[in-house]
Amino acid sequence: MQKSAVIIEVAVNGGTKKDKNLNSPISPEEIAADALECIDAGASIIHQHDASGDGKQCAILGLQTYKIILGEQPDAICYPTIAFAGNTVEDAWNHNRALAEAGVLRMAFLDPGSLNLGRLENSGAPDAGEFVYANSNKNIRWIMEQCAQLKLAPSMAIFDASFLRNAVAYEKSGQLAQGAFAKLYFCDDHGPLSFGLWPTETALNAYLEMMSDSKIPWASAVLSGDLVDSGMAELTVKKGGHLRVGLEDFGGRASPCNRELVENAADLVKSLGYTVATPAQTADILNLP
Q: Which of 102, 215, 97, 87 is closest to 148 using CA atoms?
A: 97
Contact predicate 73/104, CB 8 Å: no
Residue 56, φ and ψ in degrees, nearest 5: -65, -40
**Cα distances (angstroms) measured from residue 50 to each of 13, 25, 64, 120, 269:** 8, 9, 11, 25, 30
pLDDT digits (tens, 9 = 90+) for 91-108: 999 999 999 999 999 999
- pLDDT at residue 51, as a whole number: 74
Which residues lie below 8 Å from residue 130, measured CB to CB, with a gap of 6+?
Answer: none
- pLDDT at residue 87, as a whole number: 84
* Domain that includes residue 88, residue range: 5-286
Query: Is 243 strand, coil or helix?
Result: strand
**CA–CA separation, 257 and 206 (whole Å):** 32
CATH number for the domain harbouring residue 121: 3.20.20.70
Q: Residue 2: which pLDDT band, with cuts at 50, 70 and 90? A: low
Contact predicate 153/180, CB 8 Å: yes
More confident residue, 216 or 190: 216
- pLDDT at residue 1, as a whole number: 46
pLDDT digits (tens, 9 = 90+) for 213-246: 999 999 999 999 999 999 999 999 999 999 999 9
**CA–CA separation, 212 and 168 (whole Å):** 10
pTM: 0.96
Which residues lie below 8 Å from residue 91, measured CB to CB, with a gap of 6+?
Answer: 55, 83, 85
Contact predicate 187/196, CB 8 Å: yes
Domain count, the chain: 1
- pLDDT at residue 54, as a whole number: 83
Residue 280, φ and ψ in degrees, nearest 5: -65, -40
Distance of CA 91 to the CA centre of its chain: 21
pLDDT digits (tens, 9 = 90+) for 137-156: 999 999 999 999 999 999 99
DSSP states of 85-131 as a string? Answer: T-SSHHHHHTHHHHHHHTT--SEEE-----B---BB-TTSSBP----
Contact predicate 40/274, CB 8 Å: no
Q: How many helices (H) and strands (E) does the chain have?
A: 10, 10
